[in-house]
Structures are given as C-alpha cells and as structure tokens.
Amino acid sequence: MTSAPNTYDNILEINELQTSFFTKDLEVKAVDGVSFSIPKGKVLGVVGESGSGKSITSLSILRLIEEPGRIKGGEIKFKGENLLDKSEAQMRKIRGNEISMIFQEPMTSLNPTFTVGQQIGEAYKIHQGLNKKEAKKRSIEMLKLVGIPSPEKRVDQYPHELSGGMRQRVMIAMALACKPELLIADEPTTALDVTIQAQILDLIKDLQEQLDMGVLLITHDLGVVAETCDYVAVMYCGKVVEYTDTKTLFSSPKHPYTVGLMQSIPQHDKDVEGDLSVIKGSVPSPANMPKGCRFAPRCPFATDLCHEKLPNLETDEDGNQIRCWIYSDEWNGDPEVSVYEQSETTS
C-alpha cells in the first residue's frame, strides 16, 4: 500500500496575516496583511529595520502572541493546514516538535537553574516519551551534532558555565532535538562576535541541508541573507514590500526601500567618506501610519498617488512580488524611472 502524496508544495504559507496590539483607545497594527511562503527544504530570510514586524510575524506563526496583542485574521498554513484553526493543545504538540524556534539571546531563553542536558532532554520526554536516561543520551548526541566539545561533560553543566557561542549552540540543539520540519531563527547571532556568528550560521545551514528543514531566518544583515537564504521577504512597517529569490534581490532589487537597504551597506571598493548612502527620514510610528504607501515619506520617487493610496503586493510573470506604484499601470510619475539606476546616481 502506497502512502498518500503530499498535497502541499510549501512547508509554510502565510496569507494576509494581521496581528495587532490594543490599548484602551488605540490599535497598533504590528503585522498588517503579511503574505509569504517557504518551499519545503528552503531558507527564507525576512529583513527590515527594527519595528518592521519581523519578530511579531514569527511569534504569530507559533501562536505565542500575548495580551494586549491578538492575531486578528489571515491564514498560517503549515503543511497545508491552518494553524489558526488549531486548539491550544494541538499547538503544544506542534511547538518544539514540528516547528521550533531559536531566539536572539540564549541567556534569557535558557533556564539558569537546569543543566543544558535537562533542557534539551525535556523535548524528548514531552514529544517522544523517552525516559530520563534515554533523553540524556539523545541530548549528548545533539550536543555533539552542533559541535560542542566534550558533550558528555557539557551535558551536566549550567548555562552560565558556557560561553556565548556554546549557549547559542545549545539553543540550536534544543530547537533541533525532535528534527522539526520548520525552524524559525530570530536574529540567532545578534549577541555573538563576528567569528562565532559565521560558525553558527554555517551550522544552521549545514543542519538545514542534513535534515531537509524549511527555515525562516529573521535578520537585519543582508550579508547573512546573501550567504544563507534561498528567498527573501523585505518588510517595512508591518507589510512585505518585496519577495523574491536571493539572487534576484541582489542583482535587481525593485522596491525603493530594498534599494536603500542595499546601498546602506559599506562597499570595500569605495572610500567611506562621502560614499555611504543612508535612507533619509525615519520609520513612522505604528500608531500613526501614513495614509498611502508607508515608505512614501522617505521615498525619493513618491508622487501624489503614493501619498494618497496604498499599493497592493503584486506578482510579476516570474513570481516575484513587489508593493510599489512604480510597477503598476496607475503609476503617474516618470514612466522611464529605473529605481536602482537613479538611486545609484543620487546616492
């Protein structure tokens, strides 16, 4: 008897996700109609400035939004099934088992009162029903897998006895203990020095390929995206403004915000003085968003249309997605505008 074929192509598919935070008089739309997908076995990088909604999107996927926050609408399809339709008991079986997450700062994510072996082993006991002895054995195997030396010794140590790089490796071991099909990594190298960052990213990439996982990698570092990701979603003010494969993003960025991010990266072949580009202005307050395109107040190409009307996320013939009036039939600015070329000229 043959098993039924998979009925999904994407391990994760998010459609029009909306997550807001509420006060007595105000609704703050932290994630406002976000859509993107992750093909099976691929890495999606989500990039954008602080406050763009990256981390809230990842917490929404795991249904970890707490009051005064609330997921208001949309779909979060994991293996073809909408997680927003699952009960809390069903979500507890999925978290840490089928979907795992690595957080930014391991010292705030690891419990200082338990050994690292106890914390890794907890996933085995909860999700796979292993006893204490078997869970410890598997924990040692995971510590070895993530490259921690002397795992038989380290398994009985507490988080404060390990270096920052080792603690982050422990976090990865915990996340991958049950061989999840989707890994969410939220700025996993922020607190580490550059050398250790590279090691951790290489480790995540190697394990992703070994286990054929889908990975959602949240970062502000485009260098990390170039080295690690297959696809990229660029977020700004709670919305995706560009979604494409990594090669296309770096060779032909479309959205003015994406171009601005690219040109803000220091170039080794340029003098630092006078050549470092910046995106003028600042991110608007989530409590007071612009009426039209949210990037319009900072965009050098914005017209009256951009300030008055919010563009949709449109898909081109190659499957790339862009939220910008320049690429629509309604664009009323220069019809020959080339965002990347003009930005290079004015930077």
Residue 86 lies in a domain: no
Same domain, 248 and 342: yes
Tell me, yes or no, whether 64 lies in a domain: no
Domain boundary among 177, 197, 218: 177
Q: Cβ(167)–Cβ(178) under 8 Å? A: no
Picking from 124, 170, 122, the residue whose alpha carbon sits closest to that of residue 146 is: 170
Q: Which of 156, 177, 198 is the last residue of a domain?
A: 177
Q: Residue 347: what pLDDT?
A: 42
Enter the tokens of residue 52.
Answer: 């763009």
Position 103 in a domain:
yes
Residue 271 lies in a domain: yes
Residue 47 lies in a domain: no
Structural domain for 254, as ranges: 243-346
Helix (H) or strand (E) holding 174: helix 164-176
d(CA 11, CA 45): 15
Which are the contacts of 208, defined by CB distance < 8 A and separation ≥ 6? 41, 43, 183, 215
Structural domains counted in the chain: 2
Instruction: Assess if residue 137 is contained within a domain.
Output: yes
pLDDT in tens, 308-322: 999 999 988 888 999
Q: Does a structural domain hold residue 196?
A: no
Q: Is residue 315 part of a domain?
A: yes
Tell me the pTM: 0.87
Q: What is the pLDDT of residue 275?
A: 57
Query: Is the bond leading into 39 cis (omega within 30 degrees of zero)?
Result: no
Residues of the chain with pLDDT under 70: 1-7, 106-107, 191, 266-276, 334-347
Query: What strands, in cross-sheet order, belong to the sheet with 182-186?
Result: 99-102, 182-186, 214-218, 43-47, 231-236, 239-245, 321-322, 314-315
pLDDT for 232 = 96
From residue 195, how far is each of 56, 222, 247 by CA, in Å?
Answer: 28, 17, 25
The last residue of a domain, from among 145, 177, 209: 177
Give the pLDDT score at 334: 66
In terms of domains, do 257 and 331 share one? yes
